[in-house]
Amino acid sequence: MNLKKSLKSIKRKMYGKEKVFITIRTVYTHLSDLSNKEILDYYNVYSLSELEQHIEHIKMVLRDKVENYKEELKELDSCFCMDSRGDFKYLYPSKQEAERQIKFSWETKRVKLKLYPCPFHCGWHLAKV
Ligand SMILES: [Zn+2]
């Protein structure tokens, strides 16, 4: 009966180990064909715990990057919103400016636009109604 129990825990442990490799193969498609051993070699680590530490490190670096990226966005006063054609959308820092453009488009081109807040909170965008 103890054997059954320990087998279960070994299985669970193995699954836990596999999980890291599965995650890596899924996230990094260029590693998807590698065996567990090759993945360890790739990261230049010798054990699973080293690999896990390495992954934690990567996660931390990525988090920092995202933070820096947010700062950059603030500095640029810009965003990466795109329109349906994949072009960057024009950003209006002030609502009045956006409203002026709506008026202008209607008066000159009979194009009806509406404004909406940028999801990154950088300003306002216009969309066709
Ligand atoms: Zn935006």
Q: How far apart are CA 75 and CA 69, in angstroms?
A: 10
Give the residue with greater pLDDT, 7 vs 29: 29
Kindly give the distance from the C-alpha atom of residue 70 to the centroid of ligand 1, in angstroms, as a whole number. Answer: 13
Confidence of residue 43 (pLDDT cuts 50, 70, 90): confident
- 81: CA distance to ligand 1 center in Å? 4
In the structure encoding, which two tokens stand for residue 58, read together?
A: 């990567």
45 is written with which tokens? 């680590």
pTM: 0.41
| Cα 50 to middle of ligand 1, angstroms | 40
Note the pLDDT of residue 12. 62
Tell me how far the alpha carbon of residue 73 lies from the centroid of ligand 1, in angstroms.
10
Query: 28 alpha carbon to ligand 1 midpoint, in Å?
Result: 28
